[in-house]
Structure 1
Amino acid sequence: MDKNIIGTKVIAQIGILVNDIEKTSQAYADFFGVECPKWSLTDTVDVAKTEYRGQPSEARAKLAFFHMGSLQLELIEPDHHPSTWREYLDEHGEGPHHIAFVIDGMQEKIMRMERNQMPLVQKGEYTGGRYAYMDTLQDLKVILELLENDK
């Protein structure tokens, strides 16, 4: 396996799948003694350009973010369209889904990971950037998310 494939070792985010974002967000807010964040809905496929396993997907999810110093905690409640979120929640239940890293050069990083038997599972756009979920379960025991923000 290549070394330093993504060019960083700083974890930016931990993503957790949930069935009820409002209930779970409130539980986290109470636990940490912070204000409960409002959730937002991911963009539609025409804006997000969501692809799951190489095919366009109507998948959307409710997202809530807790800013925990240098790390962001993301709660994800997926809809029922095909996505890595829905597949993982159905197979494993609620809990950790991914760890995310902010990177530069999305296409090059995806190609490097795929050359190292870590295939792209899902990708899409968000306001200000793009994301890619890579199947790193075999070697790293968790999905990695690459985040690239526009300059």
Structure 2
Amino acid sequence: MESNILGTNVITQIGILVHDIEKTAQTYADFFGMEKPQINQTDAPELAQTEFKGESTAARAKLAFFDMGSLQLELIEPDQQPSTWREYLDEHGEGPHHIAFVVGGLQEKVKIMEANGMPLEQKGEYPGGRYAYMDTFRDLKIITELLENDE
């Protein structure tokens, strides 16, 4: 395996899958003495351009973000459409799904990771950038998300 594939070792986000985002977000807010964050939904399929395992999908998810200093905690409640979120939640239950890193040159990083046996699982767009979930579970015991933000 190549060394320092991502060009960074700074984890920017931890993603956690949940069945009930309203309840879980309130529990986290109470636990940390914070305000409950706004719960948003991922963009519609025509904007998000989500692909799961190489196929277009209408998958959407409700998201809540807690800013925890240098790290962001993301809660994810997926719909029933095919996605990494739905598959992982169905197979593993609630809990950690991914760690995320902000990278430059997302497409090149995806190619490098795939060449190192870490296939692209899901990708899509969000306002101001794009993401790619890489299947690193075999090697890292968690999925890795790459985030590339527009300037």
TM-score band, normalised by the shorter chain?
Answer: over 0.9
Q: Please state whether the residue corresponding to 1:113 is helix, strand or coil.
A: helix
For 1:5 and 1:14, the matched residues in 2 are separated by 19
The reply to whether residue 16 of structure 1 matches residue 20 of structure 2 is no
Structure 2 residue ranges without an equivalent (≥5): none
Structure 1 residue ranges without an equivalent (≥5): none
Give 1:45 shift.
1.0
**Cross-structure match for 1:49:** 49
**How many aligned residue pairs are there?**
151
Which whole-Å deviations, capped at 9, do the CAs of 1:111-141 have from their partners, x for residues lacking one?
Answer: 0000000000000000000000000011100
RMSD: 0.3
Give 1:16 shift.
0.1
Q: Please state whether the residue corresponding to 1:117 is helix, strand or coil.
A: coil
Give 1:38 shift.
1.2
**Cross-structure match for 1:73:** 73
For 1:141 and 1:135, the matched residues in 2 are separated by 9
Q: Please state whether the residue corresponding to 1:123 is helix, strand or coil.
A: strand
The reply to whether residue 112 of structure 1 matches residue 136 of structure 2 is no
Q: Please state whether the residue corresponding to 1:85 is helix, strand or coil.
A: helix
Give 1:56 shift.
0.3
**Cross-structure match for 1:91:** 91
TM-score, normalising length from structure 1? Answer: 1.00
The letter of the residue matching 1:82 is P
For 1:89 and 1:18, the matched residues in 2 are separated by 8
For 1:59 and 1:70, the matched residues in 2 are separated by 29
Give 1:66 shift.
0.1
Q: Please state whether the residue corresponding to 2:123 is helix, strand or coil.
A: strand
For 1:141 and 1:150, the matched residues in 2 are separated by 29
Query: Taking every aligned residue pair, what percent have the same amino acid on both sides?
Result: 72
**Cross-structure match for 2:27:** 27
The letter of the residue matching 2:59 is A
**Cross-structure match for 1:150:** 150
TM-score, normalising length from structure 2? Answer: 1.00
